[in-house]
Every structure is written in C-alpha cells, then in structure tokens.
Structure 1
Amino acid sequence: MKLEKEISGGGRFERQPNRFTTRIEAGGEHPPEPGRYQIYASYACPWAHRSLIVRELLGLREVVGVTIVDPIRDEKGWRIPGGDPVTGVEYLSELYLATDPGYEGRYTVPCVWDVAARRLVTNDYPQITLTLETAFAPWHAEGAPDLYPEELREEIDALNEVIFQGLNNGVYRAGFARSQEAYDEAVTEVFATLDLLEERLSTRRHLHGDALTESDVRLYPTLARFDAVYNSHFKCAVRRLTDYPALWAYARRLYAVPAFRDTTDFDQIKRHYFVTQTNVNPSGIVPRGPEIDWTAP
C-alpha cells in the first residue's frame, strides 16, 4: 500500500483526496444512461460495499454494470480475475492510467468507467451512491426505497459527516497511526461515535427513523467489518460491536436484507485486510474467528 504520502508529521493518517470527481448528471458531459457505466468494486472494501448495496436496493443491476476485483492486491494494485469483460484490462490501474497517465496515487475502488467516453468519470465514493440514488432515479425498480429524500437531505448529510469522521475513516486513522498520540486521538473518537450511535438507535429502527436511508448504507459496511477486522487488526479493541445491544441488533436487521447480506463476504473481507495490509500485519496470517452469528434474531 502506498501509504507514506498519507502519513503526516505527527503520525496521523490523512486519506488521499479523490482524483476523479466529475458528476454523472442529466445535461452534463456524462449523462445517466442504462448500460453506459461500469462500477469497479471489491466485496472487501467498505467504500465499494456501499455502491454494491445501493445498486441492489434500487434494482439497478441491469442499468449499471459491476466488475468485482480480487480481494488480494499486489504491487500492481487491484487485479480483475480473468480480465475485465468490458475493457479487457487485467488491473484496475490500467483504467486510472488510461484516464490520467501521470496519476501517482493509490488505485482505489469504487470507481466508475464511462464505456462511451472510455475514461474514468469518478472515484469519489461519497458521491457515487448519491448519484445512483438521484441521477438514476428514472430507472429505480418499482417499490425501491428513497434513500436520499429531499426533506431529510440536510440531516442525512450532517450525520454522514459524523459517521465518516468518527467511524468510517476513524478506524483507518487508528489502524494506520504511526504515533501513540495519533492512535489515542483516533480510537477515542471511534468509540465516542459508536456510543453516540448506540444511543440514537436505542429509540429508532434506523438512523433517521423507520425508513432506510443513505446514512444506514454508509454505517453498515464499517459495522460488518468491526469485530472481524477493526477490533484486532486496527486496534479498535475498547469494545466490540456485539457489546452494543442496539447497534448489534440494528446491524443484524440490515444483514437480514438481501442487498446487505448478499454483498457481505466475510472471507474476502478478512483476507483482504490481513493479507494485503502488511504494514499492519507483516506475517499475512489470517486469524480464525470471531465466531459471530449474524443470522441471530
């Protein structure tokens, strides 16, 4: 992993900015059209997991394509097993360099390829799910949930920022910290955020009430990886997800929904983190456990 450029002088992990941020929007250079776009994703990556969940929830399987990369990265980055049937490339890096030959950052998923323009449009993971929820609304399946209702957008955006800073990215700030001070700062924020969410979910079914929203989609991938990976691998060991009654029940309710369950691959998740991130786990040994029943009522 090319992490050195993302470590500050104080040993703090500072995530690289997204390189491609063009919007897919009606009237723009890249308009929403069925069959025009391909998402490159990994079952292991929490940022990509969001896109896979939303694509399933909204019934966009026949509208927006998906290519799944191998969970184990090597020095060339994400590999596409058997080659990509859409572009013919073997590594995701080839699409990054075809779009920007001077690109030197990490090759990240999710990202979206415009088949017609033959270029990457975006690797802006927060925007990708919002684009599926808004720009592709004309192709949503009948009865699909409104994950980003206009009347709740301000509240959703505000909570999403809290979840990102304290938890989604917070676990990485703890895991990749290069100083005790940076680790202590990050891990304290992780569990303060979990405590806040536990209190919030003790009185409601989802983060914004009874209905599923974008905020739930953003929280779930981190919860799904918490006890399996972040608790040990990223040293977020103060408490486990299963120690939070409301959060643990909430996570299992989401897992019971096919769009969440069918895109959650614990084997790929564990192999990716423990084998690929040798800066954290030099041995590459994948631990057994924990034994958790995600199907429990």
Structure 2
Amino acid sequence: MKQFFFKSPVIMTGKWVWYNFWRLMMSNLAPSDDTGNYQRPSSHFRHQVKEIEANRYTLYGGITCPWAHRTLMVRALKDLEDVIEVNLLVPSVNEGGWIMQEVSENCRTLKELYQLAEPSYEGRCTVPVLWDKKTKKIINNESADIIIILNEKFNQFSNQKKIDLYPQNLQEQIDLWNKKIYHYINNGVYRCGFAQTQSAYEKACLGLFTTLDEIDLHLADNRYLCGDDLTLGDVRLFTTLIRFDSVYFHLFKCSLKRIKDYTNLNRYLEDINNLPKIKNTYDIKKIKEDYYHNLFPLNPSGIIPLTTS
C-alpha cells in the first residue's frame, strides 16, 4: 500500500516567507544582477595624499574585513605604526554598519564620519578609510589605493625604507596577479557566499578553485607570486587565504578544498604568516565571531562551527 506524504501548510508557508525575506535581506546586504551574481559597489573616495606629514592621518579599519586587513599589513610591514594612527571599528548588526569602540572626531559610527567629510553622502560606509585629521576629509576608501599610498608616500618616516611592495620592475606582473586574484579569489569568495542563484554560485565557486589550483601550481617553483620578493599581490592574496578555512569554506560554501589541502598554498600561507608583525594584524577568533554573528542571512542561528587550526 502506497503512503502519501503531504507537505505541511505550515512548512510550505514558512519556506515561502523565509525565502522571500532572505531575498530582501540579501538585496540590502549584497546587491546582485538579474542572474543572482553579486555586484560589489565601487569606492567613492579615490584621492591621493598630497601633504606628507607624520601623525596627520588616521587609518580606520576593522579586524573582520579582509580589505582593511590589507592596509594594516602594509602599515606593519613598512613600520609606520608611529606615523599612521589606526582606529579599529567593530561591525554591529543592530546598527547596520561599523561603530567606533571609542568616539573619534566626535563620531560614534563610521556613517557619521563619512557624513562629517561629505554631508550629502548617501552611499555605503565601508572600511578601510584613510582620514585627514587636519582637513576632516576622507582621502581614500579604496584598499587597493591605500596600500600603494602606504607603501610609497611615507618612506621618509619608515624604518623599513628598503621594503618596496610595489617595485617598478615588477608592477606589470603584480597588476596581472592583482586583477586575477581580485576577481576570482578576493571577491570570488563573496560571489560564492552572496550568490542568489545556484548557477551564480557554481560559476563563482568553479572560478575560485580553478584559480587556487593555478596559484598552487605556480608556487611549486616560487616562494611568492613574483619570485623571492613579497609584493602587494601577496598581501592581497594573504588576507583572503588566512580567513578561508575558518570562514569562507563553511559560511560562504567555498567547500571544494581547504587551503590546508594545497601543498604549496599552505606552505605559502604559513611563510607569510610567520613574517614579523603579521600575526599582530588579525585575530582569527574575532574574525570568526564577527562573520558568523553578523551575516545573519547566511547564518541565522548565529552558531559558530568548530574548525581545526
């Protein structure tokens, strides 16, 4: 005798409500195109530092954010801790943005700082931010620009003048790596996690792991991306790799492999991680907490999975 199982109206209704509520939340969290592919908005402030002074500029960042982590790494590698002040913000799901741990420039939130710089501003308020304390203006909020500024503009104050993370003879090579790494890895993990259709997710996921495979093969014969010298390309790759196994593998469904499953990428990650000061630029426990607690549409329970170190 056949048994027929009817879906409970409660379950069907709940599924419909949750799915549509999820789509609404995702549209605010992560804008997408018509096919469900995540579209990262562009940065608004793209100015350069014109007056080079010590202790004039503040770098606003956040431990969670891989884009802000880039800037913290370059600041540390160039030994600019006494030249560029850092203010680390924390994400707040209740506030819907970044908040100051201590009031800065009479601002309690990053949004207030943006509006102090430009009262008519209505865009996204993101970290990192390079802030001019003298003019009360945002110099730049694009991490790709800020890491070049920190590498080049403050050398006269640096105790690591010989370290050049963007040398002229390697710039073309670095730029090619940066373009690929940004699209398929840095932004690729977000395109996996924020995908709103199966096809968008699979496209992003396959692109991500094809590129990781390619880099792993390249690193079989190279210490870093461009040979024996650490560059901005490595900085940009590191901040995604260090979060990968603990966060992106689970939360963003980047689940074909872990970084520790790659012989050369894993060695490369440990190599950079053991460079002086690098471990002081991030806190993996805090990173996990912030990702799993604040990205509610991806993890509504707030449960943080146990992961191997």
TM-score in terms of structure 1 length: 0.91
1:42 aligned to which of 50, 62, 67: 62
CA distances 1:88-147 after superposition (whole Å, capped 9, x unpaired): 321111111112233333211101111011111110111000011112222221455211
Tell me the residue number matched to 1:79.
99
* Number of residue pairs the alignment of both structures matches: 284
Deviates more, 1:224-233 or 1:130-139: 130-139
Aligned to 1:234: 252
Letter in structure 2 aligned against 1:167: I
Partners of 1:20 and 1:225 in 2: how far apart?
27
| Residue of structure 2 equivalent to 1:141 | 159
1:69 aligns with 2:89: yes
Q: Give secondary structure in 1 for the equivalent of 2:277.
A: helix
Structure 2, gaps ≥5 residues long: 1-24
Letter of the aligned partner of 1:162 in structure 2?
A: K
Residue 287 of structure 1, CA deviation: 1.8
**Secondary structure of 1:79's partner?**
strand
Q: CA RMSD in A?
A: 1.5
Does the aligned pair in 1 maintain the 2:26–2:194 contact within 8 Å? no
Do 1:201 and 1:250's aligned partners in 2 also have CA atoms closer than 8 Å? yes
CA distance in 2, matches of 1:244, 1:208: 19
One-letter code of the match for 1:106?
A: R
SS at match of 1:78: strand
Contact 1:43 1:71 in 2 (8 A): no
1:32 correspondence with 2:49: no
Note closer, same or farther for the CA distance 1:143–1:113 as it changes in structure 2 (3 Å cut): closer
Q: Deviation string for 1:182-204 (max 9, x for gaps)? A: 10110011001101110111111
- Alignment identity in percent? 38
Amino acid of the residue matched to residue 193 of structure 1?
T
Task: Give the strand-richer structure, 1 or 2.
Answer: 2
Q: Distance in 2 between matches of 1:147 and 1:127?
A: 13
Matched, 1:59 2:79: yes
Give runs of ≥4 in structure 1 deviating > 4 Å. Answer: none
Larger radius of gyration, structure 1 or 2? 2
**Could you tell me which amino acid in structure 1 is paired with residue 84 of structure 2?**
V
| 1:166 Cα offset (Å) | 0.6
Residue in structure 2 matched with residue 23 of structure 1 by the alignment: 48
Q: Which residue of 2 aligns with 1:119?
A: 137
Q: In the alignment, which residue of structure 2 is the partner of 1:295?
A: none
CA drift of 1:263 comes to 1.0
Which one is further off, 70-79 or 155-164? 70-79
The structure 2 residue matched to 1:203, chosen from 221, 228, 238, is 221
Tell me, yes or no, if the aligned pair for 2:77 and 2:160 is still in contact at 8 Å. Answer: no
Question: Structure 1: which 5+ runs fail to align?
Answer: 26-30, 293-297
Partner of residue 114, structure 2: 96
* Of 149-158 and 279-288, the range deviating more from structure 2: 279-288
1:142–1:186 CA distance, 2 compared to 1 (3 A): closer
Structure 2-normalised TM-score?
A: 0.88
Query: How far does the alpha carbon of each residue in 1:160-195 deviate from its partner, in whole angstroms, 9 at most, with x for none?
Result: 111000100000011000001110110011001101
**1:13-69 deviation per Cα after TM superposition (whole angstroms, max 9, x unaligned):** 0001101111114xxxxx221111100001111000010011011011111110011
**CA distance, structure 2, for counterparts of residue 112 and residue 119 of structure 1:** 9
Q: What secondary structure is seen at the aligned counterpart in 2 of 1:191?
A: helix
* Maintained 8 Å contact 2:251/2:292: yes
1:39–1:113 contact (8 Å) kept in structure 2: yes
2:100 match: secondary structure = coil
Within a 5 Å distance, the mapping from 1:186-265 to structure 2 comes to: 186-265=204-283
Q: How far apart are the structure 1 equivalents of 2:160 and 2:200? A: 47
Partner of 1:167: 185
Aligned counterparts of 2:80 and 2:27: Cα–Cα separation in 1? 34
